[in-house]
Amino acid sequence: MPGDETQRINPAEDALLALAPGRRVFGRYTLEAIAGRGGMGVVWRAHDDELDRTVALKFLPEAIAADPEAVRDLKRETRRCLELTHPSIVRVYDLVQEGGSAAIAMEFVDGETLAKRKVDAPGGCLAAAELAPLMAQLCAALDYAHREARIVHRDLKPANLLITREGKLKITDFGIARSLTETHTRLTGVATGSTSGTLPYMSPQQLAGDKPTESDDLYALGATIYELLAGKPPFFRGDMASMILQIRERTPAALAAHRADAGCEGAAIPAAWAEIALACLDKKPARRPRTAGEVAARLGLVESMGYTGTGNRATTMEEPAAPAAVPPVPGETGAVAPPEAGVRAPDVSGRRPAVAEKAGRKSKMAPWLAVAAVVVVGAVLGGYFGLYAPAQKRAAVERTRTASEQARETEARRAADEKRVTGEKKAAEENRVVDEQRAAAESARLEAFAIVAAKVDALVDGSTPALRDATELAVRNYLAATSGRHRDDIERRWTQRAAGWETARLAAARGGLIVTTTPPGAEVAVGGLALEKSPAALKEVKLGKYPVIIRLAGYEEQRREVEVKENEFAALDVTMVRAVGAAQLASAPAGLAFVLTGSDQTETGTTPARLEKLPTGNYTFVVVREGWPDQTKKVTVARGQTVEVLAEFVGGGLEIASTPAGAEVWAQGRNLGKTPLKLGDLVPAGFDLELRLKGYTVAPARGEIRSRETTRVSLALEIIRPEPAQPWVVPDLSLGMVWLRPGTFAMGTPPDQAVPPGSTAANKPGDNQAAAAAVLLIGALAQGIQALQRAEIPQTNVTLTRGWWLGKAEVTQAQYEAVMGANPSQFKNAGNSAPVENVSWEEAMQFCRRLTEQERAAGRLPEGCIYTLPTEAQWEYACRASSSGLYSGNLDTMGWYAQNSGNQPHPVGQKQANAWLLCDMHGNVSEWCLDTFGNYPGGTVTDYSGPAPGAMRVYRGGSWKSGAQDCRSAARGREKPGWRSNSVGFRLALVQTR
């Protein structure tokens, strides 16, 4: 939604939510388009399907939506926002949840933000004349929220002020933005802003984390007016710390100077507007305007805009109108005096005062009638003198009035300029004081650095320990309290001086010894006396020569001799030499790549290999063979010894058999072959295979392949059989069938839908079936109802007591040929997926009998089940799919018939299926039914089928060359069993005979 300051994209949340136009969410909203994105969620324009209105859905971040406490807090804020019912405040409707998602539903505003309008303005700022009606609405809305609802916005700014296409102002995110920001920070630990607001618009009190008050909103109102008139917020330069300091300590610059500094251009800023903006920005809440109504009054917006908060209202006898203030002339200066001390600012919230009692009303009537009389007389006299007085007198009066107004305006400008100059001087003085304080602080830092540096430099080799300790204390205190380059300099100086002083002090002793090694950590023994690990120091040593023995695991032992002299510290630095051994590496099979790592050394090569002069220690030997898991060996190389390492890759075998044989063996999406199957040299590991054979359930085969062994698996495959209430696919034909449950329906055509053969109205299918039926009925009466009675009426209520399977589509040419060995179709060019046609009823039944025999032989057909043609009642029940109209849907989208087929049948399944997933029930080819043709009995019948004797068989559904009337659900056709047509085929049924 415009105004939601959300422009940065968060891809992770769009992916989690998986939102897209057209998706229905929360059980009632249909998404239409993204209105905005940001760190606090994505906003969608959506349609409320229950209330038939457009709304904005602000989806909450995943971290908030998944936290019950966070959602509970937001629900509480949402309930508070429901109290805000003002024409200039965006309505909040609800907080809705579904699964792991949550969103706030609110009023959708089609327009732009005031921030965008400012940016798009030619000079980068707006004029007071343009802002006047908008600020009147804004002040009215704030006054209402503060006085009536007792709610503080906490994040008022131009980006949260929306302008509708009609030019009306709307405030968005009342309380919601603050709650989202604080909750997100609490849950994620990532701050998305300073406390509960946007920094340039936050008062010093809000910045300090004080409890929000109406005064914070008035500060933000002043910052908003300031920015819109001057082009930039009062403080906008520097980093966050610098801006916080400016908000707390600096006085905003005069608006005109600030606008020039920001590089913006526009009309002159009226003094009243500049004065009220700076008044709202006062550091002290007590010195700011008390209410938004006071702001509106000081701008002269209360009555002049004709807007008083929650809506315009006429003045009544009980509620006399206040005198209208004279609005400032757009683009000119002129101060509007603030309310007098002790006088309450006008209430622009739209609240009506309590209506007086009846007696009180009467007491007020008389003076107001007198006022009305005076107004009428004044209007008459004014009309006379205004229209008929001499022109010279009117001109003199106008000149007097203009001179008086100009004098007042000149005095107002002088007072405003004087106040502006005073404010600028005050701001300059405050800035000077801040600069002096900073300079003094910097001078103090330099002085402290100089003092400590002098103490460090004074520490020489002969200084006393007391002086050294005092210097160290001074350095530590300085380092703890200072940062930056001066601190680094002192730390470097101290490290060097302290080390030199310590060396000199040790040398003054009788003598000493320091032993260091590379690498460190070696055990050191001097003259048989074991010391700490290197680096090690020995103090107060008698003069003389001492043997030194140094040992370190993995290194050769080192022996040295050192002489200790008077007042000297002997230093012994020894570089250790690694001890070495060898490794013999091999693999089966040979010729494999290896990597040997350890002891800070890596060796690579191909097996077999011998590695000499390996430093002693632990190694990892990794051998790689393609298609096999890497073999890893841990070895230890000892001093002067050879370690042998062998990595063996010996596989196992797998034999797989199935009953029946010929099943495909699949592993990880790859066909390994058919059973019986033998596989050798396999990686020892677990296996998970599948055996697949058409007509049988997929059989899993799992086990373990062991090195040097053959694993054998034998499985008996289970035949797939049709199960009632489940869909079925004839395996060898890939012919899908739908299970149809028992039920009752009205078979045939009621009188209001009766259609005579060749009726013109029936050839025009459409959504208005009632109107079409009426036309059809007239045609039927004209042609005679007797023919219809023989074909489709009387309508009969039929109950089917058993469920059955029916093909999803008509039998195709490929399926027919697979069973019968030939394709009799005339439209072979339509493709193998087109319905078979040019088939008689007898040939269709022969197909059913042969398929029944094949499936029984394969063991897939349960006892008592046969493939056959559907009865006429079964066919119409399936075609209607619980519908009762002429068609089960829209004929153009569901069937190929004369008006859209192009004079030929089409591959099955291309048109929309009916409610029971059956395709081509209308059109494409007509379909043979099992019954003989007969008249409907009427009334109620159970498991209806045509009369047993009869020479004619029924076909239904219409075809590619039929008119719309022959494609109706109730339309019937009849022919002899041996008759063929390129427009007639059949649909397969599977029934249970017992």
Q: Which of 240, 273, 298 is the last residue of a domain?
A: 298
337 falls within a domain: no
Joined together, the tokens standing for residue 283 give 């550091």
**Predicted confidence band of residue 985 (pLDDT cuts 50, 70, 90):** very high
Rounded to whole angstroms, how far apart are CA atoms 684 and 710?
A: 11
pTM of the model: 0.39
Write the DSSP string, 690-749: EEE-TTB--EEEEEE--TT-EEEEEEEPPBP---TTS-EEETTTTEEEEEE--EEEEES-
**Predicted confidence band of residue 330 (pLDDT cuts 50, 70, 90):** very low
Under DSSP, is residue 327 helix (H, G, I), strand (E, B) or coil?
coil
Rounded to whole angstroms, how far apart are CA atoms 684 and 707?
A: 6
Q: Check whether residue 554 and residue 590 sit in a common domain.
A: no
- 735 φ/ψ angles, rounded to the nearest 5 degrees: -100, 110
Q: Check whether residue 543 and residue 619 sit in a common domain.
A: no
Segment among 105-109, 547-551, 877-881 with least mean pLDDT = 547-551
Q: Running DSSP on this structure, what letter comes out for residue 578?
A: B
Q: What is the largest CA-CA distance in the chain?
A: 143
Residues in the chain: 994
**Predicted confidence band of residue 7 (pLDDT cuts 50, 70, 90):** very low
Rounded to whole angstroms, how far apart are CA atoms 499 and 493?
A: 10
Q: What is the dihedral of CA 399, 400, 406, 407, to 10 degrees?
A: 150
Q: Check whether residue 738 and residue 708 sit in a common domain.
A: no
Q: Is the pLDDT of residue 774 over 60?
A: no
Contacts of 260 (CB under 8 A, 6+ apart): none
Q: Is the pLDDT of residue 385 over 50?
A: no
Q: In what order do the strands lie in the sheet with 523-526?
A: 529-530, 523-526, 544-551, 558-564
User: Contact 1/41 with Cβ under 8 angstroms?
Assistant: no
Segment among 82-91, 493-502, 845-854 with least mean pLDDT = 493-502
Q: Is the pLDDT of residue 342 over 70?
A: no
Query: Quick one: pLDDT at residue 359?
Result: 34
Rounded to whole angstroms, how far apart are CA atoms 272 and 328?
A: 8
CATH number at residue 184: 1.10.510.10
Rounded to whole angstroms, how far apart are CA atoms 623 and 90?
A: 70
Under DSSP, is residue 382 helix (H, G, I), strand (E, B) or coil?
helix
Q: Is the pLDDT of residue 353 over 80?
A: no
User: Contact 704/696 with Cβ under 8 angstroms?
Assistant: no
User: Contact 793/748 with Cβ under 8 angstroms?
Assistant: yes
Closest to 92 in 3D by CA, of 116, 115, 114, 109: 109
211 versus 318: which is more confidently predicted? 211
Q: Check whether residue 523 and residue 634 sit in a common domain.
A: no
Whether the CA torsion 190, 195, 201, 204 is positive or negative: it is: negative
Query: Quick one: pLDDT at residue 177?
Result: 59
| Mean residue pLDDT across the chain | 81
Q: Check whether residue 18 and residue 155 sit in a common domain.
A: yes
Q: Which of 648, 682, 706 is the last residue of a domain?
A: 648
111 versus 393: which is more confidently predicted? 111
In sequence order, the β-bridge partners of residue 598 are 601
Closest to 101 in 3D by CA, of 75, 63, 69, 74: 63
459-485 burial: b if 16+ Cβ within 10 Å, else e: beeebeeeebeebbebbeebeeebeee
In sequence order, the β-bridge partners of residue 674 are 664
616 falls within a domain: yes
Which residue among the candidates 67, 143, 155, 173 is catalytic per the annotation?
155
Joined together, the tokens standing for residue 125 give 């700022």
Q: Is the pLDDT of residue 78 over 70?
A: yes
Is 155 one of the catalytic residues? yes
Q: Are strands 677-682 and 686-692 parallel, antiparallel or unpaired?
A: unpaired
Q: Check whether residue 749 and residue 641 sit in a common domain.
A: no
CB atoms within 10 A of CB 927: 28
Query: Quick one: pLDDT at residue 38?
Result: 59
Query: Quick one: pLDDT at residue 202?
Result: 95
How far does CA 248 lie from the centroid of its chain? 38
Average pLDDT over residues 777-793: 54
Q: Check whether residue 569 and residue 586 sit in a common domain.
A: no
**Predicted confidence band of residue 782 (pLDDT cuts 50, 70, 90):** very low
CB atoms within 10 A of CB 396: 11
Query: Quick one: pLDDT at residue 5?
Result: 40
Q: Check whether residue 170 and residue 237 sit in a common domain.
A: yes
Average pLDDT over residues 803-823: 98
The pLDDT tens digits for 711-747 are: 999 988 888 889 899 999 999 899 999 999 999 999 9
Q: What is the dihedral of CA 812, 817, 823, 825, to 10 degrees?
A: -10
The H or E element spanning position 187 is helix 176-188
Average pLDDT over residues 883-896: 96
Write the DSSP string, 926-991: EEEEEEEP-----EEEES----SS-S-EEEES--TT--GGGGSTT-EEEE-TT---TTEEE--EEE
677 falls within a domain: yes
CATH number at residue 549: 2.60.40.1120
The pLDDT tens digits for 815-871 are: 999 999 999 999 999 999 999 999 999 999 999 999 999 999 988 898 889 999 999
Q: Check whether residue 753 and residue 626 sit in a common domain.
A: no
Q: Check whether residue 797 and residue 685 sit in a common domain.
A: no
493 falls within a domain: no
Q: Is the pLDDT of residue 337 over 90?
A: no
Q: Are strands 53-59 and 43-48 parallel, antiparallel or unpaired?
A: antiparallel
Query: Quick one: pLDDT at residue 246?
Result: 93
Average pLDDT over residues 663-668: 91
Query: Quick one: pLDDT at residue 488?
Result: 82
The pLDDT tens digits for 12-34 are: 344 344 689 999 999 999 999 99
Q: Is the pLDDT of residue 512 over 60?
A: yes
Average pLDDT over residues 364-383: 36
**Predicted confidence band of residue 116 (pLDDT cuts 50, 70, 90):** very high
For the chain, what is the domain count?
A: 5
Query: Quick one: pLDDT at residue 441?
Result: 65
Where is mean pLDDT largest: 67-71, 173-177, 762-766? 67-71
CATH number at residue 597: 2.60.40.10
472 falls within a domain: no
Query: Quick one: pLDDT at residue 504?
Result: 66
Q: Is the pLDDT of residue 346 over 90?
A: no
144 falls within a domain: yes
Q: Check whether residue 813 and residue 899 sit in a common domain.
A: yes
Q: Which of 520, 549, 575 is the last residue of a domain?
A: 575
Q: Is the pLDDT of residue 227 over 90?
A: yes
Q: Is the pLDDT of residue 767 over 90?
A: no
Give how far Cα 790 sits from Cα of 130, 747, 756, 952, 968, Å. Answer: 80, 14, 11, 14, 16
Q: Is the pLDDT of residue 459 over 80?
A: no
Provide the percentage of residues in the chain whose pLDDT is more than 70: 80
Q: Is the pLDDT of residue 783 over 60?
A: no
**Predicted confidence band of residue 617 (pLDDT cuts 50, 70, 90):** confident
User: Which residue range forms the structural domain that includes residue 534?
Assistant: 509-575
Closest to 225 in 3D by CA, of 288, 181, 286: 288
User: Contact 335/271 with Cβ under 8 angstroms?
Assistant: yes
Joined together, the tokens standing for residue 298 give 């000081």
Rounded to whole angstroms, how far apart are CA atoms 507 and 793?
A: 127
Rounded to whole angstroms, how far apart are CA atoms 774 and 772?
A: 5
Q: Are strands 804-807 and 989-992 parallel, antiparallel or unpaired?
A: antiparallel
The pLDDT tens digits for 127-146 are: 999 999 999 999 999 999 99
Q: Check whether residue 672 and residue 567 sit in a common domain.
A: no
Joined together, the tokens standing for residue 882 give 């619980």
Q: Is the pLDDT of residue 461 over 90?
A: no
**Predicted confidence band of residue 502 (pLDDT cuts 50, 70, 90):** low
